[in-house]
Structure 1
Amino acid sequence: MHWHKPNWIKTSLILIALNLSLLAQKTELKFRNLGLKDGLSQGTVQSIVQDKKGFIWIATEDGLNRYDGNRFDVFKHDPDDLNSLASNDLWVIFVDPKNCLWIGTYQQGLDKYDPSTGKFRHFTSDLKDSSRISSNTIRALAADNKGNLWVGTRDGGLNKINLNNNKVTRISESIIDEKIRAILIDDNNCLWLGTHKGLVYFNPDENSVKHFTHTPANKFSISNNNIRSICKGDKNTLWIATQNGLNHFDPESEKFNRYDVESGLSSNDLRSVVRMKGNIWVATTRDGLNIFNKKDNSFYSQQQNPGNPFGLSAETLVTLFEDMAGNLWIGTRGAGIDIYSLQLNRFISFRKNHLENDQLNHPVIFAIAEQPGKNLWFGGQENGITQYSYETGRFTYLNVDAKDHLKIRNNEVRSMLFDSSDNLWIGYISAGIECFNVKNGSKIQFKNNPKDEKSLSGNNVRTFYEGMNGDFWIGTSGDGLNLFNRDKKSFQHFQNDPQDSASISSNYINAIIQDSEGTYWVATRNGINVFRMQDKRTKENAKFKSIRNIKGDKKSLSNDYVISITEARNGDLWFGTMTGLNHLKSKEKSNPQFRRYFMKDGLPSDVVYAILEDKKGMLWLSTNKGISKFNPQTKTFINYNTSDGLINLEYNSEAAFKSSKGYFIFGGVNGVDMFNPDSFELSSFNPAVEITSFFVHQKPFSVNNGLFFKDDINLSYKDNYFSFEFSVLDYSNPEKIKYRYRLSGLDNDWIESNRNFANYTDVKPGVYEFIVNGTNGDGRWSKNSSHLNIVISPPFWATIWFRFLIILLFIGLFYGLHRYRVNNLLKLEKLRIKIASDLHDDIGANLTQIALRSDLMAQGIVQDDKQGYLHGIAEMSRQVVKSLSDLVWAIDSRNDTLEKLASRMKQLALDVFEPNNIDCVFTSKGFEKTAKLDVDIRQNLYLIFKEAVNNIVKHSGSDHVEIVLDNTNEKFRLEIKDNGNGFENTLDNPGNGLKNMKMRAVQLKANLNITATKKGVTILLERSRF
């Protein structure tokens, strides 16, 4: 970002010239103080600089401070942190081209601070090591345009540090004095060194030096060898502050022009010098600030004034610094920093100062008048009148205790006016009127006489007005309106008559004007009164038309208590009331339709005391909250208060005046504020806007220990409550700075605020950009803004990859459900086929035999063994019934448990073995009642068991069988052992029964072993536990 001096400063120099010449003798510059109350670490300020971003850095005797216009960040030495500041006692600071800060300390060396890392690097002295700096007490720092930092020390001469590699080079003490207080580098990269032995010119390329010292006999030599400060002047000249005066040095002629107390300096003991705004500003050791005007070779000086709230805070000034906006920063001893800004000095102020006699004689100003080109007159509540002379800049007091022509009737002055004959009319709060001929000092008094109806109607005089034709009007507080007859020295009274609607609506008169059409407008506590005077200026010919507030009518007068009236150049009328500003267009005077303005429209206060129009048609209003500038075209207000240099917030009616010299003057409860609206230029300075802090859940968010945010900030979804702090780096009037910000992605519009922070809560995951902009001290929006990206990560369940997995899961689930249904259908189909096969193989074969035998018997083929055939048919029928029973049992879901299976198998064994006189021992264990079995498993297991039992009955010839069903431990075991004859071929026997058993064992994923001996057969089926 490239900085340049704003053009508006040149225009504003007119204001300074007016302040320091026209009102020079009693006008003081105004300063804003920053001290311990504001967060500064210590009151003695040794050095001030501004970095490339616009932050102000302050070196004190107790720490380093960074100021952003809102707060101070303090850096101090921490014995436990090697990367902290080396010492708290600091003497000088400097910002290099890379925006690194160099800090010279007292006895602890030189520190380099990088704001991007937040760490300090230390450079210390070692007399035995020439690669290190020559002294630990640093007094001066400066950088050339070749990448070198030059370091002046108190007792070790000059050092050079390469800014690229931090290499230190010592300059021989035989060439340059060891005590260096100031360094200035000219356009040729040559050094001008201020030492305690005079001025030294050093050319690094040629390694040559030249000394300039004080010579008592040579008036063109430097005034003193002890040099404190050096700054550039015009045409390559130098301004040099010494212990004994100021010097202007021309290197070409090698001559010094001296300035001292006799030239107008407040002191010869100088500490610092800067060139600013075309003038030379000089800080003294014990006598305040001096400004040298080169045009007339004159000095303006200002010392500490405890009675001035805007004055210098100390007599001892240490250092001066000009920032990018043209503000002057003054480091003091013990009182912090005083800041001079053009914005703070637009207003000239007079006030009562109890510590200084030559000022206003009273704080509360009710009346202002001017003897054109000569004197200003201020009337107060307590001590009479203060007269200010343009010519001498002196104050003169008129009161009841004064002598001769300065003596007045009463000290409570409410109104004043110079008439066309140059007479000063003075209205008192309780003592009537005094007409003062300022040329000859004569006075005429007018007071109410109850016995004289042509005397003044009342003694509490509120206002005066002289009409176009010389009519002279007096408004009183409680006794109506008076018209003065100059010839007869008599008064006509215009008072409220409740029985006469054409009489004036109130006896409390606040203001009177005659518009350009000759119509009179009177402001009262009960509305506005309009009238025209006929040729016969009598009470009977004055018919008043009153205009009042109408409830519910937004085009009526906003309040009946009307304080002031002003006619604009276009003929429009403006009324100040106790509740708002009212505008009446000239074409609507006959049928009043008011446009009203209140605080909600931008007024600082609804009470409008006085209205003055400038040459540009702007209206300047005095209120209960400062002065407001109103633009009738744009209908916008710019408000000014004490932060702008006003000594008043609350003003008074009638205490407003346009001087012959172009000043607008407003009187209030603390004195007088005046300004020239023609030179009232708004600042065009475009300050930087910086995000200074970021908080998550109200806790500071650290960024690599650095001061600045460079990268995106990444947060988790839980960190959705965060806030920002930001600053506009314009120090002219921080209180007037406004901000606007938005979180792109969340805020649709800019959010405007007077606060320098923004809070966001419950922010959803996403990518956001925070943008902040601000105004300068005059309310103009800067072209610069600051940006910071915020990335809030979603919870894992809200991420794209997680959603993708969920989609895959649902797809898999739906696919699994589909496959499950298909498998179930296939199982069902398989079961159907199996049932059909079983019906066909077992039941079908028996039914076929029954059918064949039945046919044979029916055809008479079987004759001999009919009974045997019938017995066989009966046996096969029973077999079919059993097979059907087994099949139905197998597919019945109520029989799915192991317990049901074991019970069925035991019953089968008993049914088969008992009729054949075979003893059976049936043992079962480890069967849970709720343990389920698939139909296939249950059927195959049962049919294997059935086949084995039938084989025992048919073939074994045994009389004892042992059956074990064991589902304990890790295996299921079915063991059937008989004591029959056995067989030789065991499982390889070609019988279909054994083949079926083997096939079903495979389907059960079980091992089937059949062992045959002469003592019987053992069938063992094993598989994993059910």
Structure 2
Amino acid sequence: MRCLCLLSCLLFCNYFPAIARPDFHYRYIPLPESLRDANINQVTPDSKGILWFFSSSGLHRYDGNQVLTFNLTTKPAILANSITCIFIDKTDHLWIATRKGLSRFDLKSWTTARIAPAGSTGDDTGPYITIMGQGLDGTIYVGTRDAKIYRVVQDELLLVADLGHLNPNEVGLASIESINEPVKGELWVVCNGRFVKLFPDAGRFMPPVFYPMKSLAGYINGQLYFAETGDIYFYLERKGIYIFNKHSGLLSRWQHPLNDSIRLRGRVFILPMGVGEMGLFINRIGFVTWNVNTRQCSEVLPIAPPYQRIFRVTTAKSHAGRTYLTLAKGVVLLEQQRTPFRSLLASAEETAIPQSIRCIHRHGNQLYMGSYQEGFIQVDEQTGEKKNIARNFIYTILPWQGDSLLLGSEGDGLLWYHTTKNTLQPFWQDTVQIPWQHRVLNKYTTALTRENDSLVWVGTYNGVYLLNVHTRTAHRLLPESVAGRALQQAKIFDILIAGKERYISTVEGLFLYRPESRELQRLFENTHPDYANESFYDILPVQDVFWGGTNGRGIVLFNRQQQILQEINTSNGLAGNAVYSLQRIGDDVIAATDQGLSIINLVNKQIKNYARHDQLPSNEFNHSAVCRYGNQVYLGTLNGIVAFNMQELVAYHPGKSPVNISFTSFTTGNKSGLQHDFTLPYQSAPALTVSPDIQYFSLRFGGVDPTVSQFYYYYRLNQEAPWQEVGPQQEIAFAGMAPGHYQLQLAARIPGQAVFRELLSIPLTVVPAFYQTWWFRMCVVLAAGVLVFLAFRYRMMQLLKEQQLRSKIAADLHDEVGSSLTRIYFQADMLSMQSGESTALQKIAAASKYALGMMSDMVWSIDARFDTAADLVSRIKDYLNNLQQELDITCVLELQGDYTSRALQQRVRQNFFLIFKEAMTNAARYTSTPAITVRLTFGATTTALLVCNHCSGDSNRMKNYQGGQGMANMQRRAAGMKGALQVSREKDRYCLLLQVPC
């Protein structure tokens, strides 16, 4: 009788999707825009939760963020677009039945293959398949439109039975509607309104058993439920639900009040829900469960009012505790409630207008609430009946005496509502009673707090006033102070009465008012100026400490001395930094935030957070939308109400994984374009390998669970690396990654938690190019070493050849030219002593002698055997000795530094000596004293020559003349050695300094 009354309420009242069946709820799965107008058929999830379904345009795969469509021209291609049903077996093979036969889609290899009848040719058209099923041993069976049953054996269709002799239907055929093997060795088939039992035995079939059921006429839905008692539950179109016992052969009608209404209402889908329990989804009514052992029926989980028109289910499929309902324009997931949270008035479809709840009050079994979508509404918590009371936007509700409620509205001022009389009337019948300056301001009420039996604090968009309910007089708090003027310009959120103090939460800060002294002050102006202008939504006293919910700082704890004691925000575990309401139940504080719900334990200081993945209708709550009824808590969100029992919530322990998610595709890019691999979810040991020619690659992940889009994702490439933020998008892209072996880990951060929950992990190998391998680098090093050695060897050979050539030239000059000049010199000298032309011959002898000296210097300079500093010093000493004898002057040679083992290049040695000779010639010509100082310094980085002599006469003339044209030659020679030549004069001392780098 109870179910009948309940059904009547459901059929003739607006529905309210929630608490009648708390352990199930609907969730709309949004499909991409490309499929919004398609007629979706037979949604089937694979082992990874990825959805497969078909439409008139072909086969579709949806992984939560990407749709793949397969038709006659895609790769891989399907057999035909005229799909009749699909089936996914336990080995991730997708079987596609069409009007032209059967094909198999291997998800692991991403290939399709046609399964043709045995003995047919490749060009033959396959049978028109209407249904598929799988035996307990994994055998695939198919039923055809002409009442034939096949099984798949070694990629061929073998005929099992031909039931075409059964009574044909209106088109002259007897099609197969259902194939099941509930018990090993019994294959149950529905063919044209009757049951047929077949007996597979070692690959053969014994003669079938027919159950005529002549008393029934009509279409039997292919979805059956087989009970352990032998009862088979099935739905007969326009007749209701029947029970057939396979042992006794008796046929009976399901004796339940719902069955009569089902016959007149919509199509019924029978779904297995577990051992001894089946589910019934009834179009235009809702969902119930039936326990076949206890014969008990659950209360109906109705369909939300906005979706009754579109909730016309065409197919239903149960998998892993979830039921997928295929609508004409979308997919709805019917799943078991796994958390203590119950959603009231929540939208199952994310694209629908949400039901934003501003305030809640419970009176008996009735819930009164203010909704931005529907105004002021009433809901019966037991039956789910909803009633729209008025279109006023009610912001806050204050229970008064008996059945009276004082309502604060946005735009209509204060209102009285009487629950028993169901009457709504303005608080002020005559607006003359309101002081003129308050009339407009009082229309927008945001907070109501009862002072006593007569007085009420009323918060508005512009300040607060104290109202006497009986006399209907009001006065505002107008102290002549800066705080008073700021308060009367602020939007009021909450008013807390704490002994002799009144705390007023506003958008402009937190104010303290003491009625006895009429003192008003803005808190924290003197102690913590940063908090003075912070927006406060709510104040909760906890022992001697006040907890303040703020707009951006989370929860601020302070004492009566206005000292900030602590901040609780997202940095230390709170779900969100905007806290709209605070409630305390026992040792727990409930904080409703903009990013979820937080439960703070006062004893152990632990914080537990809950969000959309815990089946909350929304992550964001509304200010003042809170109601407590014992341990039962009701909170208003942007999408309906969430209700829960505090004891059940404390005992609830969420699972480790917040969502059902998997890697869905792997994309690589090179010069040839993009390549996609969609087999990744189905590999037994998935791993990623990136070849050297890949310039870019990305990894997609996702799931059809709507909460997948609610998280921020992070990844890292090894256990020690820091987490890198991906954001809400479900793809990780890489370019130019260094070669190596990585372990790619994907994690999600739960809102309000700093802990990363690892979701997935996969090995990643980036193969190096040949030029990035160790052996190539070693070969390069060896080749470079060989080249350096060959270059050094070649250079040494060239130097050796140069030295040999220089020694040969010097020897040739010395032997050939030197001997000739020597003979000329001696012959001229002898002739000068014998003949009368002594003067001319002496000149010839002198020139020959000078040429011999020049040739000797040249031979010395190019001879490679003298490329040392010691030879240079020896040559300089010889030159100085000869110069002293010839000119009768004194030369002092000073040697500094070690030169015995120092080598000199031929070019340096030659130019250095020539500059020395020129300098000595100039010094000997212009010196005024017989002493010339020569200093040779062999340093670590330079070799220096200093020649100094005394001079007399006009100093400017001497400075400019000494050296003459030879100075330019000396500068040129010094530059050729990359050295520097400087001349200086101090009083009567003239010096020439040559510095050459070693």
TM category (shorter chain) comes to 0.5 to 0.7
- CA apart distance, 1:92: 1.7
Partner of 2:912: none
Equivalences for 1:511-550 in 2 at 5 Å?
Answer: 511-515=494-498, 520-530=502-512, 539-540=515-516, 543-548=519-524
Task: String of CA shifts for 1:287-338, please: whole Å, max 9, x gaps.
Answer: 4654234467447667877x62xx36735422212343x3321123x31322
> How far does residue 87 in structure 1 lie from its aligned partner after superposition?
0.7
Q: Is 1:114 aligned to residue 106 of structure 2?
A: yes
The residue that corresponds to 1:274 in the other structure is 271
Per-residue CA shift, 1:641-674, capped at 9, x if unaligned? 999534x9674x4333224571414276x86565
Q: Aligned residue for 1:690? A: 663
Instruction: Find out whether 1:758 has 2:732 as its counterpart.
Output: yes
Q: Are positions 1:184 and 2:180 aligned together?
A: yes
Question: Match of 2:581?
Answer: 610
Q: Aligned in 2, Cα 1:235/1:481: closer, same or farther, shift over 3 Å?
A: farther
Aligned to 2:398: 417
1:808 aligns with 2:799: no
Over 3 Å counting, the alpha-carbon distance change for 1:251 and 1:296 in structure 2 is closer
Indicate conservation of the 8 Å contact 1:745/1:767, yes or no. no
Distance 1:451 1:117, change over 3 A: closer
Counterpart in the other structure of 2:764: 789
Q: Is the Cα–Cα contact under 8 Å of residues 96 and 143 in structure 1 kept in the other structure?
A: yes
Q: Which of 562, 570, 573 is matched with 1:591 structurally?
A: 562
Report the counterpart of residue 149 of structure 1 in structure 2: 140
Query: Aligned with 1:186: secondary structure?
Result: strand
Contact kept? 1:598, 1:605, Cα under 8 Å: yes
* SS of residue matched to 1:228: coil
Distance 2:597 2:152 in 1: 54
Provide Cα deviations, 1:742-762, integer angstroms capped at 9, x if missing partner. 234995545453221112233
1:664 and 2:634 are equivalent in the alignment: yes
Residues 45 and 319 of structure 1 are in contact (CA less than 8 Å); yes or no, is this contact kept in structure 2? Answer: no
What percent of counterpart residues are identical?
A: 16
Q: Tell me if the contact between 1:313 and 1:335 (Cα under 8 Å) persists in the aligned partners.
A: no
Note if contact 1:248-1:256 (Cα within 8 Å) is conserved in structure 2: yes
Which residue identity lines up with residue 206 of structure 2 in the other structure? N
Note closer, same or farther for the CA distance 1:321–1:444 as it changes in structure 2 (3 Å cut): closer
- Paired position in structure 2 for 1:15: none
Work out the CA distance in 2 between the residues paired with 1:93 and 1:22: 33
Give 1:43 shift: 2.8
Q: Is the 8 A contact 2:617 2:640 kept in 1?
A: no
How far apart, CA to CA, are the structure 1 residues paired with 2:413 and 2:37?
A: 55
Q: After the TM superposition, which residues 183-582 of structure 1 pair with which residues of structure 2 at under 5 Å, given as runs?
A: 183-205=179-201, 207-216=206-215, 226-233=220-227, 237-243=231-237, 244-252=239-247, 254-256=249-251, 258-259=253-254, 262-265=259-262, 267=264, 270=267, 272-276=269-273, 280-283=278-281, 287=284, 289-294=286-291, 297-298=296-297, 308=306, 311=307, 314-324=310-320, 326-332=321-327, 334-342=328-336, 346-350=341-345, 366-371=358-363, 373-379=364-370, 385-390=376-381, 393-396=384-387, 413-419=394-400, 421=402, 423-427=404-408, 432=414, 434=416, 436=418, 438=420, 459-460=442-443, 461-466=445-450, 472-477=455-460, 478=462, 480-482=464-466, 484=468, 493=475, 495-499=477-481, 505-506=487-488, 509-515=492-498, 520-530=502-512, 539-540=515-516, 543-548=519-524, 553-554=529-530, 556-557=531-532, 559=534, 561-567=535-541, 572-582=545-555
Report the Cα offset of residue 179 of structure 1.
Answer: 2.4
SS for the counterpart of 2:262 is coil
**Alignment correspondent of 2:868:** none
- 1:811–1:370: structure 2 CA closer, same or farther, 3 Å change rule? closer
Aligned residues: 777
SS state of the match for residue 717, structure 2? Answer: strand
Inter-partner Cα distance in structure 1 for 2:752 and 2:136:
35
- The 1:156–1:752 alpha-carbon spacing in structure 2 relative to 1, beyond 3 Å, is same
Residue in structure 1 matched with residue 78 of structure 2 by the alignment: 85
Hey, which of these two has a bigger chunk of strand by percent? 2
How much has 1:76 moved relative to structure 2?
1.1
The answer to whether structure 1 residue 48 and structure 2 residue 48 are counterparts is no
Distance 1:706 1:655, change over 3 A: closer
Q: Quote how far apart the aligned CAs of 1:86 are.
A: 0.2
Moved more, 763-772 or 27-36: 27-36
From the superposition, tell whether residues 759 and 802 of structure 1 become closer, same or farther in structure 2 (CA, over 3 Å). Answer: same
Q: Partners in 2 of 1:656 and 1:338 — Cα distance? A: 30
Normalised by the size of structure 1, how large is the TM-score?
0.63
Q: CA deviation at 1:510?
A: 3.5
Contact 1:195 1:225 in 2 (8 A): no
**Residue identity in the other structure for 2:314:** V
How far apart, CA to CA, are the structure 1 residues paired with 2:426 and 2:694? 81
Cα distance in structure 1, aligned partners of 2:732 and 2:556: 38
- 1:204 positional shift: 0.8
Contact 1:621/1:627 (CA < 8 Å) preserved in 2? Answer: yes
Q: Give distance in 2, aligned partners of 1:724 and 1:740.
A: 13
| Alpha-carbon separation, structure 1, partners of 2:412 and 2:265 | 54
Shift of 1:173: 1.6
* Aligned equivalents of 1:174, 1:451: Cα separation in 2: 87
CA contact (8 A) 2:148 2:162 kept: yes
Cα-to-partner distance string for 1:384-436 (whole Å, 9 max, x where unaligned): 74333446544456569xxxxxxxxxx56554322365543344655556485
What is the CA RMSD across the aligned residues, in angstroms? 5.4
Instruction: Please give the alpha-carbon distance, in whole angstroms, between the structure 2 residues aligned to 1:465 and 1:788.
Output: 60
Q: Helix, strand or coil for the counterpart of 2:709?
A: helix
TM-score w.r.t. the length of structure 2 is 0.65
Counterpart of 2:713, as a letter, is Y
CA distance in 2, matches of 1:188, 1:525: 70
Equivalent pair of 1:42/1:60 in contact (CA under 8 Å): no
Aligned AA (2:406)? W
Larger mean CA deviation between 819-828 and 335-344 belongs to 819-828
Higher Cα radius of gyration: 1
Q: Deviations over 1:593-634 (max 9, x none)?
A: 1645678889888654433445672524265xx754354745
* Closer/same/farther in 2, CA of residues 65 and 707 from structure 1, 3 Å limit: farther
What's 2:849 paired with? none
CA deviation vs aligned residue, 1:162-209 (integer Å, no higher than 9, x gap) = 3xx334321132599662211222242422222223222222126253
Look up the equivalent residue of 2:177 and give its one-letter code.
R
Task: Structure 2 unaligned segments of length 5 or more: list them.
Answer: 1-14, 167-173, 824-851, 865-998
Question: What CA distance in whole angstroms lies between the structure 2 residues aligned with 1:264 and 1:571?
Answer: 60
Offset, 1:109: 0.5
State how far apart, in whole Å, the 1-side matches of 2:483 and 2:37 are: 70
- Structure 2 CA distance for partners of 1:135 and 1:781, relative to 1, 3 Å: farther
Pick closer, same or farther for the CA change 1:36–1:288 going to 2, 3 Å.
Answer: farther
Q: Which digits, 9 at most, give the CA deviation of each residue in 1:494-547, with x for residues without a partner?
A: 6121159799954864322335x6754332455334456xxxxxx545555541
Structure 1 pair 542/30, CA: closer, same or farther in 2 (3 Å)? Answer: farther
Q: 1:173 aligns with which of 156, 162, 166?
A: 162
Change over 3 Å in CA distance of 1:194–1:660 after alignment to 2: farther
Partner residue in 1 for 2:694: 719
The residue type equivalent to 2:234 in the other structure is I
Taking a change above 3 Å as real, the CA distance of residues 485 and 635 of structure 1, as seen in their structure-2 partners, is: same
- How far the C-alpha of 1:564 sits from its partner, in A, is 2.7
What is the letter of the counterpart of residue 272 of structure 1?
Answer: F
Separation in 2 of the partners of 1:191 and 1:46?
26
1:700 to 664, 674, 691: 674
For 2:617, which of 621, 645, 657 is the aligned residue?
645
Shift of 1:691: 4.5
Please point out which of 725, 729, 734 is paired with 2:708. Answer: 734
**Quick one: which amino acid aligns to residue 656 of structure 1?**
V
Pair 679,56 (structure 1): closer, same or farther in 2 beyond 3 Å: farther
